[in-house]
Amino acid sequence: MNSFQQESLADLVSHPVEWNCLLSQYTSFSIGGPADAVVKVDKIDELSGILEFFAKEKVEWRVIGRGTNLLVQDSGFPGVILILGEEFRAISSCSGNNPNDTDVRVGGGCSLGRLALNCMERGLTGLEFAGGIPGTVGGAVIMNAGAWGSELSSVIENLTLVTDAGERVIDRKDLNFGYRCWHDYRKFSGKPIVVEVAFRLDWDEPGKIRAYSQTLQKKRKEKQPGSYATAGSFFKNPVNDSAGRLIEASGFKGVKIGGVQVSENHANFLVNHGGATAADVLTLMCNIQEKVKRDSGIDLEPEIHFI
Ligand SMILES: Cc1cc2nc3c(=O)[nH]c(=O)nc-3n(C[C@H](O)[C@H](O)[C@H](O)COP(=O)(O)OP(=O)(O)OC[C@H]3O[C@@H](n4cnc5c(N)ncnc54)[C@H](O)[C@@H]3O)c2cc1C
């Protein structure tokens, strides 16, 4: 960015801009070089102004959530990373004080775990599967995040998107989700940002919801590698098979390249044991893909997104 663009950006936002900021601190993998700038945006007007400015000045940008499904290259990102702040983290009921209303409206920057907990406490069922999935609601929409046979798309009522051309609400019937993806995302010009999501849930007893959520959390703890830096499941599961099973069958469990290792607990998790680079991860990824293809004929497609 040139100095005019830097000054203009700083004027457009209420939070201080983080210049030349290492993205490793914004990803759960703890990997990634610097972005020109990281900007936290608190308000919708601010966001619209920034997007208009980026479009006019042809500034590269990308929005991220909690970076829990991302691999950022070692050379970083030559542009601005946007993070949704305050106003985009709110949870509310869709139609005011109607106690019978099971719709929940939530900002794209809200933590998915916080939303699941909030719904559980209010006796709203439908998001228990999401309780242990890290990241934001916006990120979970783009990924169509899911677990235990459920996925986010099944409870979405509508989405509010913001682009440099303005705001737009998309109804559930016009949303075209797939396995760990929202197929139509790229169809919307101007890289839409998911700023709000309305969910349609059901009532149930909070105690029952809590018990079910706890069972799922326990299963998750048993299956996944503890507190390592990771981006979750690295590859999508092929139809009628599991990426973890294929990777293990090809002899990769525990295999290490540089600082990154195929988890001993769950072969579809790559974990950063400290100092791993994106180059390490990409080398290991290619080795796994080649060997699994040779052994089983199956092409493993990454689930994670790349910057
Ligand atoms: C330990 C661990 C366990 C996990 N378990 C699961 C699991 O069980 N199921 C599952 O599905 N996933 C799982 N994941 C992966 C990840 O948590 C989910 O995909 C999550 O939904 C990503 O959310 P995020 O906010 O971190 O998105 P990010 O990783 O920040 O971004 C993901 C993509 O969404 C885009 N994006 C983010 N926010 C927005 C927005 N508001 N508008 C437009 N685009 C946006 C980004 O540009 C990027 O392309 C796991 C990850 C970890 C680390």
pTM of the model: 0.95
CATH of the domain at 11: 3.30.43.10
pLDDT at 134: 95
Among 76-80, 153-157, 161-165, 229-233, where is mean pLDDT lowest?
A: 161-165
Q: Would you name the residues annotated as active-site residues? A: 180, 233, 303
How many other β-carbons are positioned within 10 Å of the β-carbon of residue 78?
11
Instruction: Return the amino acid letter for 192.
Output: P
Encoded amino acid at 135, one letter: G
Q: How confident is the model at residue 189 (pLDDT cuts 50, 70, 90)?
A: low
Query: With the C-alpha atoms ordered 272, 273, 278, 283, is the resulting torsion angle positive or negative?
Result: negative
Segment among 14-18, 165-169, 249-253, 289-293 with least mean pLDDT: 165-169
Atom nearest to 68 CA in ligand 1: 26
Residue 96 has pLDDT above 60, yes or no: no
Does one domain contain both 102 and 200?
yes
Q: How far is the CA of 2 from the centre of ligand 1 (A)?
A: 31
Domain that holds residue 10: 3-84
- The DSSP secondary structure of 144-161, one letter per residue, reads T-EETTEEGGGGEEEEEE
What does the pLDDT look like over 241-255, one tens digit per residue?
A: 999 999 999 999 999
Dump pLDDT digits (tens) for 48-79. 999 999 999 999 999 999 999 999 999 999 99
Provide the pLDDT for residue 190. 63
State the CATH number of the domain containing residue 254.
3.90.78.10
Total domains in the fold of the chain: 3
Q: What is the pLDDT of residues 113-158, one digit of tens each?
A: 999 999 999 899 999 999 999 999 999 999 999 999 999 999 999 9
Pick from 219, 221, 220, 304: which is nearest to 270 by CA?
304
| Residue 223 · residue 130 · CB < 8 Å | no
The pLDDT of 161-170, averaged and rounded, is 91
How far, in whole angstroms, is CA 45 from its chain's centroid? 23
Strands 269-272 and 229-233: antiparallel
| Domain end among 65, 84, 103 | 84
- Does 242 lie in the same domain as 208? no
Same domain, 105 and 212: yes
Among 133, 197, 260, the mutation site with the greatest number of ligand 1 atoms within 8 A of its Cβ is 133
Q: Which of 31, 42, 64 to mutate to test the pocket of ligand 1 (most atoms within 8 A of CB)?
A: 64
Question: How far apart, in Å, are the Cα atoms of 150 and each of 155, 180, 194, 203, 266?
Answer: 9, 11, 21, 17, 20
Question: Are 229 and 149 in the same domain?
Answer: no
How far is the centre of ligand 1, averaged over its atoms, from the C-alpha of 220 (Å)?
Answer: 17
Q: What is the dihedral of CA 6, 11, 13, 19, to 10 degrees?
A: 30
Q: Which atom in ligand 1 lies closest to the alpha carbon of residue 225?
A: 1
User: At which of 220, 237, 270 does a domain end?
Assistant: 220
